[in-house]
Amino acid sequence: MSLKLIINGCPLEIFEGATIGDAVRKFSNDIYKDVEQGNTDIEDLDGNKYYLSGALTGDEIFKIEKTSPPEKNMNKSKHFFIITILITLSLLILGTLLSGAESGETKITIFHLNDIHGNIDNFGKVAHIVGSERAINPNVFLVQAGDNFSGNPVVDQYEPKGEPILVLMNKMKFDAGVIGNHDFDYGKKILTSFIKRANFPMLCSNVKSNDSSFPQPVPYTILKTEDGVSIVILGLIQIDSHSGIPSTLPDNVKELKFFRGTESALDFKYLKKNNNVFIALSHLGFDRDKILAQNMGELDLIIGGHSHTLIRNPSLENGVLIAQAGAHADYLGRIDIIVKDGKIIKKTGSVIDLDTVKTVNEEVNKLITDFNNSSSLNKVLADIETNINGRQNLGLMVTDAIREDLGLDMIFYNKGGIRINRLSGKVRAKDIYTMHPFGNYIVEMVMDTLEIKDLIKNDFEGHRGIDVIPSGLSYRVTRDLNKNVVNIELFDLNGYRIPDGRSFRVGMNNYIVSSYKFAHKDPGRSTNAKTVDIMLRFFTNLNKKLNYSNVVRSEEEIIYSGKVNTIGITETDIYTAKKKYYKNSPSGNLVSDAIRAHSGSDIALFPTRLLRNNITIGKGKKVYREALPDLYNYIKRSNVVNIKMTGKQLKEFILKRIKQKNNADLQISGGTYTVFYDQGNRVHKIEFLLSGNNPYNEESSYKVSLIKFEYDNSYSLKKFTAEPEIVKEDLEYILSEYIKGIKIISKNIATERVKLVKYNKN
C-alpha cells in the first residue's frame, strides 16, 4: 500500500510510513536541498509549515514556493523575528490583563509541545515562559502531544533510556501527555517505567493492553482550574493503515491492540456533558486531526502531533481549534481560553519561536547541561579485534547487520549513508551516531530480479560507478566504454547465478527509495527500524569476530566497442584491488612491471590506493588504451621518479608504509614481500625478497621507481635522493607502450607478490 499526496499540484505516490522529507526528495532533489538548507518552506494550503521529519498520513497537499532572493529572505527573517517578539510580549501582557478577568470569567492558558524526540536544549526556555505565566495566573497548564523519545543520542543512550526527558518533564510540572508511536521505541518495559514514574498522566484511549506487564493506559484525565472549571483531555495515538499498529517496531507493541483514533474518539463524546472544556491530545497527524474535528464537533480543541506541523495561527475546523507546534521543541505552542458562566466565549492560539527567547530557568538549564555532559555516548558497545576500513567494508557490515536484524532476503545501502571511514578497537555509541547521522530507516518491498537489476543499473549509471552495497547476494555490472550498463548478473550466497523471475523481500534505506530512480511495482512500507538503532543492537549483542577485508559483493567488468585503440590481449582476468590495502592484484602487478621495464629499475613500487576497486577485464579479452583510466586513478597525470636506496632503506620504507596503513599499501615488481600481522591487524614485520626468491643485500644499492606525487607528498623520500631522476612520459603512455610491446598479458601477472600472514608473537 502506498501513500498519495500532492506537491505543487503534482500527484505523488510514495511508500507507506514515509516522512515529508522522503516525499519532497522524491518530488525533487533540488527542492529538497532548498528546504533542507532553510531557503524555502514546505506548507499546506492553509500556510502551515511542515518539518522534513514529519510523518505522512496520505492525501496531504503541500506547496513549496520558489526560493526568494537572499536580500528578501534576510528582510523576511528580520521582520519575522521582530513580529515574533512583539507577539510574545503582547501575549504575556494579555495574560497579565486577563488574569484579573471580569467577574464570572476564567482565563485558561495551555502551553504545548509535541514530537520532542529527545531534544531537551530548549527546555530551560520553556520552563521560564511557563513559570512566568504561572506566577500571574493559577490556571496555566503544560501538555505534550507524543513522541518524547528517539532523536537525540544524549537521551537515547542514557541509562535508563529516556531518563533525561522524564526528569525534566517532572521538574517542569507537565500536566498531561499522550503516548506517541516513538514512545514505544525503547520497548514496553521502559515505557511502563516512564508512565509509572511520571508525575503526570500519559494518556491513550485507542489501545487495549493484553500484556499483564504493560498497564492499561488511562484514556483521559480531568484538570480543574482554581475556580472549578473542568478541563477533560482525551489521548489518541496514530496507527498505520496496513499494519494496524503505531509506527514502531512490531515487537515493541506485541499483545497490544490498537483502534483507529478518528473512530474510537467518537466513543468519548459523552465527556463533553460534564466538562467545560473538551480537548483531544492527539498524536494522529494534522490531516487526521481535521477529520476528527469534522466528525466530532463536541471537541473544543485539538492539540496535535506526529506530522510535525507548525501551525502559526491555529484556525477553527467545524468549530474546533486545531493546534500543533512543529517539532523538536523549536517552538512552544500557546492556547488562551476564556470561560464565562461555564462556557467558552473565546479561544485563540499562537506559537512562540524559542530562538527569540533568551532567558532560561537556571535550575532546569543546569539539569540539561549535566545530561549533555553525561558519559552515555562514550559507552563501549563492543571491542573488535580487526579494523574495518573504508565505507565499502563498513557498508558490508551494516547491510549484514540489517539483514540479520530484520530477517529480510536482501539489503541495499548507499555508500553516502556511511559517514565514517573506519571502526577499530573499542566501538562506542557515539561512533554509531557519527556513522549514521541522518536518521535513515529501512523500507521493505517485494522485488523481482528484473527490478533489482534496474535498481543496480540506474544507480551505477547515475553515480558513474558502483554505489549500492548489498547483503544476501552479490552482483556484477558489465558496462561499456561510456559507462553504460550492458548486463547485470546476480549471484546467491553460494556464488550461483540467480535466474530471472524470482522475487525477494528486499530492504533498503528510505533515502534510496525516495531518491533513486528504479522500477518497482511494490511501493514498499517502512519497517520503522532506524539504521542507527539496528547498529547499536548489533554491537551491543556482538558475539562474533568481524573481518570484511576480503569480502567482495559487487564487481565491475568493462567491454569496449566502437573506435578504440587495441594494445593487447590478456590470458588472465585483469582485476583491480578487490579491497583497497588488501594484498596485490593483477592490475597492480601489471603497472609496476611496466614502470620497472620502462625505467630499467631493480624494483618498482605502485600505491595500492591508486587502483580502482572491483573492476575486471576478463580473460581472453582485448585490452584497449581507453580502458587504462578505468583501472588506475590519475594515470594521465602521474609521472615516475627513479631513486637510489640501499636494501635496508628499501625494506624499512616498505615496512613504514604498511604500518601506517596497517595493511599492504604497495604493489611491487622485481621482488616480493610477506606481511606479518597480529589479531588486531597490527603489522609487526615483513620479509622481503628480490625476484626469484633471491635475498637482497642490506648494504647494496638498488634503483627504485616510484610515482612522483607519492615521492614528493607522501613518502618523504627526499632524504634518500636530493635530485631524483624524473621520467618525462606519463604513466598512461608507459603502460600503454609496455602492453603494446608484450602484446599478450600472460598469466604471470596473477602471481602472488604480496602475502599476508597472521603473526603469533609467541
Predicted local confidence at residue 677, as pLDDT: 78
* 234: β partners: 220, 280
Q: 532-556 pLDDT, tens per residue?
A: 999 999 999 999 999 897 788 999 8
Locus of grid cell 532553510: 38
Does residue 360 contact residue 127 with C-beta atoms inside 8 Å?
yes
Choosing from 334, 353, 372, the residue where a domain stops is: 372
Pairwise CA distance, residues 145 & 187, whole Å: 19
Residue 73 resides in a domain: no
Do 312 and 248 belong together in one domain? yes
Predicted local confidence at residue 693, as pLDDT: 82
Predicted local confidence at residue 755, as pLDDT: 85
Locus of grid cell 555516548: 377
CATH of the domain at 647: 3.90.780.10
Band (pLDDT 50/70/90 cuts) for residue 80 is very low
Residue 316 resides in a domain: yes
Q: 131-189 pLDDT, tens per residue?
A: 999 999 999 999 999 999 999 999 999 999 999 999 999 999 999 999 999 999 999 99
C-alpha separations of 411 from 353, 395, 690 in Å: 41, 10, 45
Q: What secondary structure, in 3-state letters, does 366-383 show?
A: HHHHHHHCCCHHHCEEEE
Q: What angle do CA 538, 540, 543 make, to 5 degrees?
A: 75
Q: Does residue 286 carry a pLDDT above 70?
A: yes
Predicted local confidence at residue 363, as pLDDT: 98
Q: 223-242 pLDDT, tens per residue?
A: 999 999 999 999 999 999 88
CATH of the domain at 368: 3.60.21.10
Pairwise CA distance, residues 10 & 21, whole Å: 16
Residue 575 resides in a domain: yes
Pairwise CA distance, residues 227 & 358, whole Å: 33
What element of type H or E holds 487?
strand 485-491
Band (pLDDT 50/70/90 cuts) for residue 615 is confident
Residue 726 resides in a domain: yes
Q: Does residue 661 carry a pLDDT above 70?
A: no
Mean pLDDT of 616-637: 87
Residue 70 resides in a domain: no
Residues of the chain with pLDDT > 70, as a percent, come to 91
Does residue 499 contact residue 449 with C-beta atoms inside 8 Å?
yes
Q: How many domains does the chain have?
A: 4
Do 571 and 549 belong together in one domain? no
Does residue 42 contact residue 62 with C-beta atoms inside 8 Å?
yes
Pairwise CA distance, residues 442 & 513, whole Å: 9
Do 180 and 47 belong together in one domain? no
What's the mean pLDDT when you consider all of the chain?
90
Does residue 116 contact residue 177 with C-beta atoms inside 8 Å?
no
Mean pLDDT of 362-390: 92
pTM of the model: 0.80
Q: Does residue 93 carry a pLDDT above 80?
A: no
User: Which domain covers residue 433, as residue numbers?
Assistant: 379-554
Locus of grid cell 489521548: 235
Do 585 and 528 belong together in one domain? no
Pairwise CA distance, residues 747 & 499, whole Å: 32
Predicted local confidence at residue 38, as pLDDT: 85
- Could you tell me where the DSSP H helices lie in 138-278? 153-156, 163-171, 188-197, 261-264
Predicted local confidence at residue 405, as pLDDT: 97
Do 441 and 498 belong together in one domain? yes
Q: 108-131 pLDDT, tens per residue?
A: 999 999 999 999 999 999 999 999
Mean pLDDT of 454-459: 97
Predicted local confidence at residue 554, as pLDDT: 94
Q: Does residue 389 carry a pLDDT above 90?
A: no
Choosing from 353, 372, 391, the residue where a domain stops is: 372
Do 297 and 437 belong together in one domain? no
Locus of grid cell 514505544: 184
What element of type H or E holds 504?
strand 503-509
Pairwise CA distance, residues 202 & 180, whole Å: 10
Residues of the chain with pLDDT > 90, as a percent, come to 71
Q: Does residue 557 carry a pLDDT above 90?
A: no
Do 142 and 258 belong together in one domain? yes
Choosing from 347, 372, 397, the residue where a domain stops is: 372
Band (pLDDT 50/70/90 cuts) for residue 85 is very low
CATH of the domain at 54: 3.10.20
Q: Does residue 312 carry a pLDDT above 70?
A: yes
Do 247 and 333 belong together in one domain? yes
Q: Does residue 463 carry a pLDDT above 60?
A: yes
Does residue 334 contact residue 111 with C-beta atoms inside 8 Å?
yes
Q: Does residue 84 carry a pLDDT above 60?
A: no
Grid coordinates representing 740 are: 603494446
Highest mean predicted confidence (pLDDT) among 417-421, 560-564, 609-613, 754-758: 417-421
Grid coordinates representing 127 are: 520552563
Pairwise CA distance, residues 460 & 466, whole Å: 5
Mean pLDDT of 353-369: 97
Do 516 and 607 belong together in one domain? no
Mean pLDDT of 545-569: 85
Strand, coil or helix: 346: strand
Predicted local confidence at residue 101, as pLDDT: 53
Residue 175 resides in a domain: yes
* 344: β partners: 339
Predicted local confidence at residue 310, as pLDDT: 97
Lowest-pLDDT range of 111-115, 582-586, 665-669: 582-586
Does residue 705 contact residue 603 with C-beta atoms inside 8 Å?
yes
Band (pLDDT 50/70/90 cuts) for residue 394 is very high
Does residue 389 contact residue 421 with C-beta atoms inside 8 Å?
yes
Band (pLDDT 50/70/90 cuts) for residue 79 is very low
Residue 69 resides in a domain: no
Highest mean predicted confidence (pLDDT) among 28-42, 291-305, 716-730: 291-305
Locus of grid cell 510574545: 88
What element of type H or E holds 399?
helix 390-406
Predicted local confidence at residue 713, as pLDDT: 66
Mean pLDDT of 55-62: 93
Q: What secondary structure, in 3-state letters, does 438-475 show?
A: CCCEEEEEEEEHHHHHHHHHHHHHHHCCCCEEEECCEE
Do 534 and 571 belong together in one domain? no
Residue 341 resides in a domain: yes
Do 246 and 347 belong together in one domain? yes
Lowest-pLDDT range of 58-67, 71-80, 204-213: 71-80
Highest mean predicted confidence (pLDDT) among 36-50, 218-232, 412-426: 218-232
Do 410 and 340 belong together in one domain? no
